[in-house]
Amino acid sequence: MLEEQLEEIMEEVRDDYRAALRPGWEELQIELEENINHINNLNVELGLLGIEIDDPSLGVVNFNSLRGIETVFLSYRLGEETVEHWHHLDEDFDCRKRMQKELDIIKQ
């Protein structure tokens, strides 16, 4: 999702012929591509840690856990004090449920 959004931005910039006429265009393009690569690398590192970026604009991340015997996502949104929500693997942020008790969730 994040990679697709960044690629759309790159395409818009590439297609904007006026931007190409501005001084320093090549340097900006190189810097943007370096930033995209850095973000992609960070996303891979997060994935290796079991963290999935759900919605970068909201600062929402998910990570696998067990609720009883069911694998679920624990869900955290930037600004929340602790991880207090979960949702099923086939659901998104809007379907988050508040954990009833911490013992229901076992870190996987």
Q: Are residues 58 and 86 in the same domain?
A: yes
Which residues pair with residue 82 across a beta bridge? none
Do 2 and 55 contact (CB within 8 A), yes or no? no
pLDDT of amino acid 104: 60
HEC-encoded secondary structure of 58-92: CCEEEEEEEECCEEEEEEEECCCCCCCEEEECCCC
Higher pLDDT, 106 or 51: 51
**Model pLDDT, residue 89:** 92
CA separation for the pair 37, 40 (Å, rounded): 5
58 plus 79 within the same structural domain: yes
Is 44's pLDDT higher than 90? yes
Count structural domains, the chain: 2
Report how far residue 18's alpha carbon sits from residue 1's, in angstroms, rounded to the nearest whole number: 28
Boundaries of domain holding 82 = 52-107
Burial 62-99 (b: 16+ CB within 10 A, else e): bbebebeeeebbbbbbeeeeebbbbbeeeeeeeebeeb
pLDDT digits (tens, 9 = 90+) for 2-23: 677 777 777 777 777 666 666 7
In the predicted structure, residue 99 carries a pLDDT above the cut 80: yes
State the pLDDT at residue 24: 76
Residues 56 and 79 in one domain: yes
pTM for the full predicted model = 0.63
Same domain, 44 and 62: no
By mean pLDDT, which of 15-24, 28-37, 67-76, 81-90 is the weakest? 15-24
